[in-house]
Structure 1
Amino acid sequence: MKYFGTDGFRGRANEGLNVDHAYKIGRFVGWYYGARRGAKARVLIGKDTRRSSYMFESALVAGLVASGADAYMLHVIPTPGVSYEVIDGGFDCGVMITASHNPFTDNGIKLVNREGYKMDEDVLERVEDYIDGKLEVPLATGDAIGCTVDYMQGRNRYIAHLIASCGFSMQGVKVGLDCANGAASSVARPVFDAMGAETHVINNAPNGFNINVDCGSTHIQRLQDFVVRNGLDVGFAYDGDADRCLAVDERGRLVDGDLILYVCGTYMAKHGRLAKNTVVPTVMSNFGFFKALDAAGISYEKTAVGDKNVWACMMENGYTLGGEQSGHIIFGDLEKTGDGIMTSLRIMEVLRAEREKLSELTRPVTLYPQQLVNVRVADKDAAMAASEVKEAVTAAEKFLEGNGRVLVRASGTEPLVRVLAEAPEERLCQEANAIVLKALEPFKE
């Protein structure tokens, strides 16, 4: 794919991704789905809080209505809210404007099909052909021109769906939420308040520039300090578009995606809700996490990195729980995509049912030290294909003598090569990584 990577069309606003791209995406999608249904297409649009999201929203809407589609505007909403409401409202497709955990200078466009999944690749290829001028799309005229609809009730239905997923009360529980000055700012607190929690919120005053800035799941220290300082029972941090969640226990300790999968997986297995007694993590999950699942008698099936790969494995095999260390967790019995707020509600379900603190629920897992280094390179494909880099990975794993591992992969959204070492000691991680980092030096940007 030329424009659409693993997580949509991403780039610096008005540089890698500009308003002309957004307009053309709207033009093609509006025409394509209208032609398929033989009537006006109905397309849902959501966005996060970064300044450029409003600009791209206007361009997308212009393209959609010019091609004869009706554009339903959810305004600021988490990415999973778009996926949910596409199905709930019977829309032809959905569009989410977000760069997730990236800085405010970036933005992106994600396309969602009518089943709430990421858009089919054959459709994305045709969108790219239209952007590059290889296809022509007619303009609508007269009464065939589309309209815009202010669709705030769609966001309200998503909030109601989250609340309805909880068959328990949070009365008497002190919860901290870090909304990353992003899409969770308009949704998370109403949900926890409705469940009776004593809700304490930080970073929920977006101004267009402060999304993900020293806050949210990418800067968990803020929430860790907040939970301890205020004597809270638990804390949850979301990313910019709220499809990820990391937790903090009552002691201020990080509970990452691996630990969340363990806590929820063992609980679901106990109550017969873990399909085939199997969890679906990625190859990036910690070795200590796998050892804890083995001790608990729970199977696992590893996938390549990316929620798309996790969901594909879950759907193909009928599994009900999977996710990534980053906090992108999918509860397949409830939703079809990662949902940070849903993840925090599921953790609360376990806490209330087991009557245990989060620190106690994670105690059986001893995580191995990991060191992840992101190397900015001029050409990530060339770096990944280089024989000297491959040889360095082999040498690093030989150095660890079977007591650890080294993973090297290219980022799907940025010009980065990610190098991860895992070993019983931090020193060994550093030394193993150093072998690979030296080989990557010539490829640095």
Structure 2
Amino acid sequence: MSKLLISVSGVRGVVGESLTAQVALDYAEAFGTFLKPGKIAIGGDTRRTGPMIKSAVVAGLMATGHDVVDIGIVPTPTIEMAVRDGGFVGGIAVTASHNPDEYNALKLIGPGGMFLSQSQAEKVNELFKRKQVKRVTWQKVGVLSFDEHWITHHVDSVTNLDIISTDLIAKSGIKVVADCVGGTASFMADMFFSRLGVSYELINSQIGERFPHPPEPVPQNLGDLGEAVKRAGADIGFAFDPDSDRLAIVDETGKPLGEEYTLALGCRYILQHKKGPIAVNVSSSLLNDFVAREAGTKIYRTRVGERNVTEKLMRVKGVAGGEGNGGLIYPDLHWGRDGFLAAAVILQYLTSIPRTISQIAGELPRYSMLKTKVSGTRKDIERKVKAIAKVFPGSKIDRLDGIKISGDNWWVQIRASNTEPIARLMAEAEDPKEAKRLIAAIESVL
């Protein structure tokens, strides 16, 4: 049986095994106990198990005296914006994001529309583990209501940004193909691309019992999109993940750029219009360092996790940031990764200069990044620290998140995943062979 994963972002697992309706109810009660009195927003993605898990979550929140507003099948960033702008004390996104069909999860959103901090999450998790919840009497049980206007609010907020000109985008004649992967983008893409005025085609926008292909927007899963871009003669292709907080790009030839380019290109465009530092996680590409140097600004690195990046952006008054898995954050919009924000920024970038997306990407240095998964926990990694360090004598060792060893234009890192019961091993270098060698060097120690 799979293991229930409890982390700073919430709880996730395989439905019917580690994640049951009872677990969802208990965890929602813990979250409701943690929050101050007030209404809570709930939304989620399109997974078959969503209605069951959501019903349990609603019951748990109402049992702690909270009114619950179901805002429907919506992107996670839509829920974040609803919490911030709708007077909610918190929110829950019922989504396992990029994980396969059998998974589901509860992502906890605190006051202000941000994921919980480490200390806040620890309090919720402790309440859950100890079953220290406060239930109310029948007279104080919360009320359930529905409000499905928040996607419109999300589209309005993105398209009204000062760095986005819908008039210029509409006049550009850009043609887009978007892969909705049968997820929440299916409910927002028509309104979004119509508002921008582009010619567009959606693929995998029908909702089924399973995702049409593995849902993580990585190059090996974007074959359908690449073919559709070539068939349509489109200028660009966009791939969303199921909860639409990540975006990957396919160029006009049908070739995936790799999800790291979403963040780098998004930050590059924003830095052409806003002055200030950027913040990215420690596992994001060296492309971001180039973008920061080019703009004459500072780049800050954080532990992996959206909240870690947003906290840094808040402290340093950053103008943009995110995570290299395709997650762009623009604080002037909200404090979270947002796939539709990223799409708007990239389209604005294309509109602003007479070059193709492949030509724009070609202006950045070429790096090869390899990512793989290995069995292991944080304790396993800690036991191997000295052995790993010996493989790279004289190199810089960074313990911010796992172990990251770096040199001139290369780095390799191993860290325990926040969302899966595995360790993530990744390397980046100018030469693909060097990246493979770095991965192999770590694997030899493990």
User: TM-score, with normalisation over the residues of structure 2?
Assistant: 0.88
Residue type matched to 2:384 in 1? A
- Distance in structure 2 (CA, Å) of the matches to 1:124 and 1:262: 30
1:239-318 alignment to 2 at 5 Å? 239-271=241-273, 273-274=274-275, 276=276, 278-291=277-290, 293-318=292-317
* Offset of residue 200 of structure 1: 0.5
| Matched residue, 2:334 | 335
Q: 1:63 to 1:360 in 2, by over 3 A?
A: same
- Distance in structure 1 (CA, Å) of the matches to 2:289 and 2:33: 47
| Matched residue, 2:199 | 198
Q: 1:45 aligns with which of 42, 46, 57?
A: 42
| Matched residue, 1:20 | 22
- Mean CA deviation greater in 89-98 or 213-222: 213-222
* Offset of residue 32 of structure 1: 4.6
- Distance in structure 2 (CA, Å) of the matches to 1:267 and 1:209: 36
Residue type matched to 2:82 in 1? E
Q: 1:293 to 1:224 in 2, by over 3 A?
A: farther
Matched, 1:100 2:97: yes
| Matched residue, 1:354 | 353
| Matched residue, 1:385 | 383
Residue type matched to 1:202 in 2? I
Q: 1:439 to 1:43 in 2, by over 3 A?
A: same
1:164-179 alignment to 2 at 5 Å? 164-165=160-161, 166-169=164-167, 170-171=169-170, 172-179=173-180
Q: 1:149 aligns with which of 145, 150, 163?
A: 145
Asked if the contact 2:240/2:247 (under 8 Å) is kept, the reply is yes
- Mean CA deviation greater in 144-153 or 91-100: 144-153
Q: 1:158 to 1:294 in 2, by over 3 A?
A: closer
Q: 2:414 aligns with which of 393, 408, 415?
A: 408
| Matched residue, 2:86 | 89
Unmatched 5+ stretches in structure 1: 441-445
* Offset of residue 67 of structure 1: 2.4
- Distance in structure 1 (CA, Å) of the matches to 2:444 and 2:103: 30
Asked if the contact 1:44/1:86 (under 8 Å) is kept, the reply is yes
Residue type matched to 1:189 in 2? D
* Offset of residue 388 of structure 1: 6.0
Asked if the contact 1:236/1:247 (under 8 Å) is kept, the reply is yes
| Matched residue, 1:57 | 54
Q: 1:133 to 1:422 in 2, by over 3 A?
A: closer
Root mean square deviation of aligned Cα: 2.6
Asked if the contact 2:217/2:259 (under 8 Å) is kept, the reply is no
- Distance in structure 2 (CA, Å) of the matches to 1:285 and 1:200: 30
Residue type matched to 1:155 in 2? I
- Distance in structure 2 (CA, Å) of the matches to 1:265 and 1:355: 19
| Matched residue, 1:434 | 440
| Matched residue, 1:369 | 368
- Distance in structure 2 (CA, Å) of the matches to 1:211 and 1:395: 46
* Offset of residue 138 of structure 1: 2.8
* Offset of residue 312 of structure 1: 1.5
- Distance in structure 1 (CA, Å) of the matches to 2:95 and 2:122: 20
* Offset of residue 408 of structure 1: 1.5
- Distance in structure 1 (CA, Å) of the matches to 2:195 and 2:31: 37
Q: 1:180 to 1:423 in 2, by over 3 A?
A: same
Asked if the contact 1:46/1:75 (under 8 Å) is kept, the reply is yes
- Distance in structure 2 (CA, Å) of the matches to 1:6 and 1:31: 17
* Offset of residue 409 of structure 1: 1.4
| Matched residue, 1:224 | 226
Q: 1:304 to 1:146 in 2, by over 3 A?
A: closer
SS state at 1:362 partner: helix
